[in-house]
Chains A and B, each alone.
Chain A
C-alpha cells in the first residue's frame, strides 16, 4: 500500500482532458513537501513531467499541468493523444518515514 494514493486507472478519448489525483497526508503533501510527476512508458527511461507541484521542465508540452490543494495534488492532461498512454506516478517526501515516497501509479488508457 503506497503512502501516496492514486487511482489505478483513468481513461479518455483523444482530444479530451483527464486528471490524475495524488492524495497524501499531513506528513508528506500536507506538510508542504512538493509533489513531482513522472511518465513511464514500456522499455524507456521514466520522464519527469512536473516538478514542484506545477512546474514543467523544458520540452514537456503545456498539455501537461499540475496543481495542489491541501493534501491532494492533481496532474491534468488536455488534448489527449495516443502517445500519452502510459503509467503516471506522483512522488514526494514523507517526514515520518524519512524517505522519498511514490504513489501507486495510474495507468492512462487513450480510448
Chain B
C-alpha cells in the first residue's frame, strides 16, 4: 500500500524556524515527484511546489518561492517543507502528495502548523 505519513502538529512563535516531514512507503520513493499543498483556515488548496527525490530537482510556485524550502532525503524516503522565520500568516494545514502524471494520487494526512505569539 502506498502511504505518505506526515509529521505531527506544530505550534510555533513568529520568527521561529520549522521543518515538517512527509515519509513515503509502499513504492519507489525516488521515482515520483512529491508536492506540497497549503490550506489556510477556512480557505482552499494552494500548490506550493514539488520535488523529485531521485535527484532533488525542485520547483516552486512563484507565490511561495523564497518563502519556504522543499527538500528530500531519499535515504529515508522523506520529503520536507521548511521555514526559516515563521509568520502568523503561515498558520495552515500543509499536505504532501505524490504526483502521478499531472495529478496527485496519494496524499498525506496533513500537518497543522500554528504560528502565534
Asked whether, in the complex, the Cβ of A103 is within 8 Å of the Cβ of B35, the reply is: no
Asked whether, in the complex, the Cβ of A48 is within 8 Å of the Cβ of B105, the reply is: yes
Interface residues on A, range: 20 to 34
- The verdict on A2 contacting chain B, using a C-beta distance below 8 Å, is yes
Asked whether, in the complex, the Cβ of A105 is within 8 Å of the Cβ of B109, the reply is: no
CA distance A56 to B33 in the complex (A): 21
Of the candidates A52, A93, A105, which one forms a contact with B45 in the assembled complex, judged by CB atoms under 8 Å apart?
Answer: A105
Asked whether, in the complex, the Cβ of A104 is within 8 Å of the Cβ of B109, the reply is: no
Which residues does chain A contribute within 8 Å of B47, judged by CB atoms?
99-102
Asked whether, in the complex, the Cβ of B103 is within 8 Å of the Cβ of A46, the reply is: no
Interface residues of chain B, those whose CB is within 8 Å of chain A, are 4, 35, 37, 44-47, 61-63, 95, 97, 100-110
A-B contact sample (4 more), CB < 8 A, given A38-B104, A99-B63: A43-B109, A46-B107, A51-B100, A91-B104
A-B contact pairs, 22 of them (CB 8 A): A36-B102, A38-B45, A38-B104, A43-B109, A45-B4, A45-B108, A45-B109, A45-B110, A46-B97, A46-B107, A47-B107, A48-B105, A48-B107, A52-B101, A97-B62, A99-B47, A99-B63, A100-B47, A102-B37, A102-B47, A103-B44, A105-B44
